[in-house]
Amino acid sequence: MPQRGYPVEWAGRQAIVRLPDNIDLLNAGTVGEELEALINRGATALIVDMTATASCDYAGAEALVRAYQRAVANGARLRLVVPADMVRRVLRLYGLDRLVSVYPSREAAIIAGLPAAEAPGAAGPPQISGDLLDTIVGNLFRAGLSLQAALDSSNEADRQHIVQALQHLDQVIREIRDHVFLDVREKIPPSSEPPDAVQ
């Protein structure tokens, strides 16, 4: 795979990639290809470190959506590190914050991937199947989209109830994502290449 200038670290089958300061129409295609290539190389978890990213337009958001879709198809987990409020707003606009776990720091994203017993200060929530949680979050997201469509065509009295339902759905999704959805990852020192066993 050609080097595209985005630094990548591997810890077992978890990859951490740092994205550039700005993601827009000029480089979004390359960003998307890089993320999909890492998943195709065998990453079971991909942390997209956008700590340095100050701006991300619609093309960048679409690249992240495609990476999420590839991750789902490959059975991988995608986690985003997004401290910039402006970038978080773009993710909210595209509904990405409902699909993908978003963390304020790289450390928080890494800790979220630790088994409950290894997470600092955590007694650990009960283990729940990742497939089951994917199904639950996917169904909640689709329910949110339906409510959003209903909001656009409802009268004023119904709008308030729909807005409250959307807020409740968002809160439930965040709680599932932030407190229950824990990946298991191998504790292997970081390297610049995936493990030999991963093709």
CATH of the domain at 51: 3.30.750.24
Q: What is the pLDDT of residues 63-81, one digit of tens each?
A: 999 999 999 999 999 999 9
Q: What is the pLDDT of residues 21-58, one digit of tens each?
A: 999 999 999 999 999 999 999 999 999 999 999 999 99
Q: How far apart are CA 63 and CA 27, in angstroms?
A: 10
pLDDT for 131 beyond 70: no
CA 35 to chain centroid: 12
How many domains does the structure of the chain reveal?
Answer: 2
Q: Is the pLDDT assigned to residue 120 strictly greater than 50?
A: no
Q: Could you tell me if 33 and 84 lie in one domain?
A: yes
* pLDDT higher than 50, residue 151: yes
Given a cut of 60, whether residue 121 has pLDDT beyond it is no
Same domain for 24 and 60?
Answer: yes
Same domain, 167 and 198: no
Contact between residue 193 and residue 15 where contact means Cβ atoms under 8 Å apart: no
Coil, strand or helix at 84:
coil
- Give the integer Cα–Cα distance in Å for 77 and 134: 10
What's the pLDDT at 188?
43
SS3 string of 35-70?
A: HHHHHHCCCCEEEEECCCCCEECHHHHHHHHHHHHH
Residue 126 binned pLDDT confidence (cut-offs 50, 70, 90): very low
pLDDT of residue 158: 77
Task: Answer yes or no: are the C-beta atoms of 95 and 141 closer than 8 Å.
Answer: yes
Query: How far is CA 111 from each of CA 15, 106, 114, rounded to the nearest angstrom?
Result: 14, 9, 5
Q: Is the model's pLDDT at 136 over the cut of 80?
A: no
Domain span holding position 150: 128-181
| Cβ atoms of residues 96 and 68 within 8 Å | yes
Q: What is the pTM of this model?
A: 0.60
Residue 111, pLDDT > 50, answer: yes
